[in-house]
Every structure is written in structure tokens, then in C-alpha cells.
Amino acid sequence: MRESRRTNLIILSALLMIAAVFAAYATLVMRWFATPARTENPATRKASANLAEARKEFRTRLLDCRAHLRLSEALWKAGRPTDSFYVLYAARQLFSKETFRAAHAEIVLGAGGPAAGVRTRLKGLNDPALSVPIHAQTAREDPASPEGRNSLEQLSLMAMGDENRSGGDAARLARAALEELYREDPRQPEKLAALAGAAFGRGDVALAYALASEALNKHSDHAGASRIMGMIALKDRDLDAAVRWLTAAWEHNPDDLYSAAKLAQIYDKRRADPEAALLFHLALYRQNPDYDDNGPIERRIHEILDSRRENLLKDAPIESLADRMKLDDASLRAEACLRAAAFKDQRWIDALGELLDDDTEIVRRNADYALFQIARQKPDAVRARRDQWLGGPQPLVRIRALNLFADLDGKNAFPLAAAALRDPVPAVRAYAAVMVLEHYFMAIPEAVKLRARYLAEERDPDALAFVHRFSKLAQ
């Protein structure tokens, strides 16, 4: 009897333990279901999707300037401004000025829309007053377009004039047009900036301040009003206030070149903080690659990037290079490749091989160089990847690998160049003809014949244009 009771107690205890465990498990499950799923920001998700699509297009159309610039824009909007710069810079070197400017106007600036048609009516007008209604229509219908922004700028410049002097009609009409545009759409930052900027340009700082204050009272994040406040702060030599206002203006309107230019100058020249200035330099280059502030802006960007990456990686331990090759900053990935070239350690061969397909030319080139340096000590380890890289699906890898093995193997790589001239991707054929065949093998009679046959058989116009542009033999 006593034994039976003890058995029952044991069974009861076991059941209670099972129930307790089940209750705890059920609680965890219910909490898991009750916890809202993490959702990615829609804008971030869209930027990531656009970047993936741009990368795919870029690798499919390597000889199309628009594909390069679409990749640059996608990188910028995905929060990778340094990579965006390097892609844009490389495209500027790769394509003719006319081709690059047309693609830049279309892809980056968004030119060529309906506003461009309206602006054709400006041709042949000699009286500035007659241009006012055309500029006003352009600014009203498409203020965010490059044509719309330029029309607002022209109206603002005309409105700065003295209405009582020669050309006063244009000044009066432009001022009235700006006032009407602002009344129609007081939230549009460029319209307020144009109106208040005209007042500021005429020396009426009080009116400019009043207009900006009124807008900020209604909309605290008004980009145009913030820009005007920044202009006034600069006039008063209040750098802290200027930085605060201009930063607010640029953050709410990244196409605001005035604010970007002033912030770049303040950080770079007055505060000796080139790292803080870099983003604004990059923003200026994106909108206007020809921008010059006592020197080409691209030169200053290169100086800052070169100095920064050397400082950041000069003491990097050897074990950290693999991780640094995966950073979101092309400048740092490129420097990591150079560090790998200095160490010549074969552990990085595969990581460097992946970087032959990088979005940016500077990283691809440095990865190629690093592999060449490693191969000088461990040639078999690099050559073991030859078929994988030359026969793989990535055209950028095939291009760079061909250059690498031509460097390594000299005349023995001639059959590889000959095979590349039959590649299904036009860009691979064009690069093989100019950058490899001409560079390494023109002393071989068979190479001369092979090049002539390639040019006779090539049907892709972009490939032929590339060869004509870069071939020394075609000049």
C-alpha cells in the first residue's frame, strides 16, 4: 500500500514537471508569435533591389555608358557614395565627353523630360523680359528637373536687378513670377530659395530673413528656408549657425549644390576636416563632374580618399585584411588589396579573385595587381585558378584574369587572348583586342593577323568604338 502510494506520487510529480515544461514552451511560442516581425525599411529595400538590378545591367552592358551611370546612381542611393564616385569617375575616363555628358544629363540629372521641350522656346529671344514666362512655366510644371532648377535660377538672377534701371522690366516680371510661384507651392524648397535669394542678392537681407522665417514657422524642415538662413549666417560670419542650417538644407534636398559647396568649403578649408568635407565633395561631383573650386573637384576627392585609406589601414593586422576586402567603401577595399600585394600571402587568392568582379575599376585593378604579386612567389597557387576565372560566367573576371595571366605567362598566354576574341560578351572581346593582344603580343606575326581578323568580323558597334578609342594602332 505504502509502495503504491509512493509510485503514485512519483507519477504525479513527473506529470507536473511535464506540464511545467509544456507551459514554459507554450509561453515561448506565444511570445514568438506575439513579437512583430522585423521589417526592412521600404526605401532601403527598394534601393537594394535597384542596386542589384543596376549591377546586373552593368555587367551585361559594360560598353554602355548609361549602364555605368545607372550603377553609380544606384550605389549613391544605396548609401555607398565612395563606390558611386569611383564608378562615375571610371565612366568619365572610359567614354567620350559627348557620350558621358549625354548619359549624365539623362541618368543623374534627369534631363530631357517635358521641361526640355518648353525650354526650346527660349532660342532666339534677345529680350530677357520675354524669357520670364517661359522660365516661369518650366519652373511651375517641373521644378525638380534640371531645366526647372535652371529656370528658377535664371528668374532669381533677373529678379536681383534694379527695377528702375535698364532691364528693369525683366527684373520686375521675374520678381512677380517668383512671388506667384511661391504662393502656388510654398512647400517647394527651390521656389522659396529663388525668391529669398533674389532679395538677398539685392541686399534686402531683412526680406530674405522674413521669407525664410515664415516658411520655417510653417514647415520646420523646409530645405529652401534652411538654405537662406545658412546664407545669412555666412554673411554674419557665424560658421556654427551656417553649418547647422546648410546641413539641414542639404539633408532635406541632396540636390542643393549651393549648400553642398559651402559645407565642403567650410569643413575642408576653414575647419581643416577633409573627412567631414568628403561627402559634400562627392555630392558636388555627382551633380557636376566638371565642378572646379581652385582646382578640379575630382583631384581633391582623390587626395582625401588616398590619405584616408592609407591612415586607416597602415597599421591593420595581417589577419584583418580578408574582412577589409568586404567593406562597403571601395577606397578601403582597394587599399586592402595593396596591403595583400605587399604581404604576398596565398591565403587571399580566392578573396582577391572575387574582387576581380568588383563594381569599381580601382578595386579590380588592385586585386589584379595583388594576385600578380602573390603569383611571383606562389605561381602554381594562382595558376590553379586560371580555368575557373577565365571560364567562369563573370565577364569582368574574365577580362581581369586574361590581363593577369598575360602578365604572368607572357607569350605562353597568347592562346588565351585568341580564345577571348571569341568570347560571347562584346566587352571581353574588345578588352582582349586592345588591352591584351595589342599590349603584349603585337611582336608576334600571328597576333597581327588575329587582330585584323577580329576587326573584320566584329559586328558590335560599341566594341568597335571602344577599340577605335583606345587602340594605339588606330591612331
Domain termination residue (choose one: 354, 384, 414): 384
The answer to whether residue 49 sits within a structural domain is no
83 with 98, same domain? yes
Q: How many domains does the chain have?
A: 5
Question: Which residues span the domain enclosing 62?
Answer: 54-107
The last residue of a domain, from among 288, 315, 342: 315
Is residue 165 in some structural domain? no
Considering the domain architecture, whether residues 415 and 468 belong to the same structural domain is answered as yes
Supply the CATH number for residue 339's domain: 1.25.10.10
Please indicate, yes or no, whether residues 473 and 425 belong to a single structural domain of this protein: yes
Domain contains 395: no
Specify if 375 maps to a domain.
Answer: yes
Q: How many helices (H) and strands (E) does the chain have?
A: 28, 0
Do 462 and 412 sit in the same domain of this protein? yes
Contact 70, 53 (CB under 8 A): no
Say if 355 falls within a structural domain: yes
C-alpha cell at 423: 568570347
Q: What pLDDT digit, counting tens, does each position of 278-290 carry?
A: 999 999 999 999 9
470 and 431 share a domain?
yes
Give dist(CA 455, CA 437) in Å, integer.
12
Residue 416 within any structural domain of the chain: yes
Residues 461 and 416 in one domain: yes
Tens of pLDDT, residues 17-67: 544 444 444 443 344 334 444 455 788 889 999 999 999 999 999 999 999
Instruction: Tell me the average pLDDT across 169-188.
Output: 89
Does some domain include residue 371?
A: yes
410 and 368 in a single domain? The answer is: no
- Are 308 and 333 found together in one domain? no
pLDDT at 34: 41
| 264 plus 302 within the same structural domain | yes
Q: Are residues 369 and 332 in the same domain?
A: yes
More confident: 89 or 322: 89
What is the predicted pLDDT for the residue at 17? Answer: 52
3-state DSSP percent of the chain in helix, strand and coil, to 5: 75, 0, 25
Lowest-confidence region among 93-97, 192-196, 285-289, 362-366: 192-196
328 domain-assigned: yes
- The DSSP letter of residue 37 is P
Average pLDDT over residues 14-19: 49
Cβ atoms 108, 97 nearer than 8 A: no
- The vertex-435 CA angle with 430 and 440, nearest 5°, equals 130
Max mean pLDDT range (62-76, 205-219, 431-445): 62-76
Max CA pair span of the chain: 122
